[in-house]
Amino acid sequence: MQMLRTFAKDAFRFGLASWRWLGISGKTPRFTTCFGDVFLESLEGWWFLDTMEGTLELRWTTAVDMYAELEAAEGRATYLMDDLVRDAEQRGLRLGRKDVFTFNPHPALGGEMTADHLTTMRFSLALNWAGTMHEQLRQEPVNSAPQPQVPSATHWVVDAPPVRVDTAHPAYAEPHPPTGSFAITGAYGYRALTETGAHHLPDTGTFPHYAPHDAHDAPPLTGQHLAATPAPREDPRPYVQAGEPPAWDDIWRR
């Protein structure tokens, strides 16, 4: 098997697109190993892109020095990994014209660099995937930043102040006792007339008088309704009694 492989320019362009974060601009890919490691040439010399470690290093100043080291036994074992290539051939693995060997799982993800974990893959895809993987591994994990603590279920609970219930209108509790005109006005004025027997008061200016329209008035009480209507009860407040309301001077004196 040929130890150095070459591919089309489009394959190199697609495969190296994910390695731009490593600083490959200004370098021209020339050939690869059987495992997809790339040899690149620039004005400074020859670079070696190690897809296993995710590194790019200037190794040789001239092509002569590079070929001399690759022909030596130590260089073949370090860069070409010829012993693994021989093991793959013995296991029946063959490379297609556009394929390279890859490890599954990848050594950067904890895989072992043995022939038992070898498989074949399209060169452009294998090189592009390796660049994306190494870039993600170098980035800081998103969940490393301290996360805000979730407040407890009672963190936002605030005790409500006590509410005084109005005995005449428990559904409409007021902070202060209402005046005579306010006690029988509003949406429930007709109920106050039925329950307390208080007469309608003219507008005093303190609480503008509101009289509901005829369409919203209580329906006339029939005999059946009169039988079901409870007897009027006396309001405990002395200033909301049946008959004419007391004068304002009398209220202020109280």
Q: Mean pLDDT in each 10-residue stretch from start to end of the chain (254 residues)?
A: 93 97 95 98 97 96 96 95 94 94 93 93 96 90 47 46 50 48 45 46 51 52 54 54 53 52
Domain check: are 126 and 225 in the same one?
A: no
**Residue-range definition of the domain harbouring residue 86:** 9-139
Q: Does residue 37 lie in a domain region?
A: yes
The verdict on 59 and 128 lying in the same domain is yes
Residue type, 176: H
Indicate whether 107 and 189 sit together in one domain.
Answer: no
- pLDDT value for 232: 59
pLDDT of residue 1: 78
pLDDT at position 140 is 60
pLDDT at 195: 46
Q: Is residue 42 part of a domain?
A: yes
**What residues have CB less than 8 Å from 68, skipping those under 6 apart?**
none
254 belongs to a structural domain: no
Answer yes or no: do 120 and 17 share one domain: yes
pTM (2 decimals)? 0.56
Beta-bridge partner residues of 46: 41, 60
Q: Do 125 and 225 reside in the same domain of the chain? A: no
Residue 79 forms beta bridges with which residues? none
131 and 73 within one domain: yes
Regarding whether 194 and 135 lie in a shared domain, the answer is: no
Query: In the prediction, which pLDDT does 245 show?
Result: 56
In a domain, 170, yes or no: no
Q: Are residues 88 and 194 in the same domain?
A: no
Q: Are strands 38-41 and 28-32 parallel, antiparallel or unpaired?
A: antiparallel
Residue 154 lies in a domain: no
Clarify whether residues 13 and 127 are in a common domain. yes
Domain count, the chain: 2
Instruction: Check residue 221 and give its pLDDT.
Output: 55
Q: Residues 29, 129: one domain?
A: yes
Assess if residue 151 is contained within a domain: no
Co-location of 212 and 96 in the same domain: no
204 and 97 within one domain: no
- End residue of a domain, out of 82, 114, 139: 139
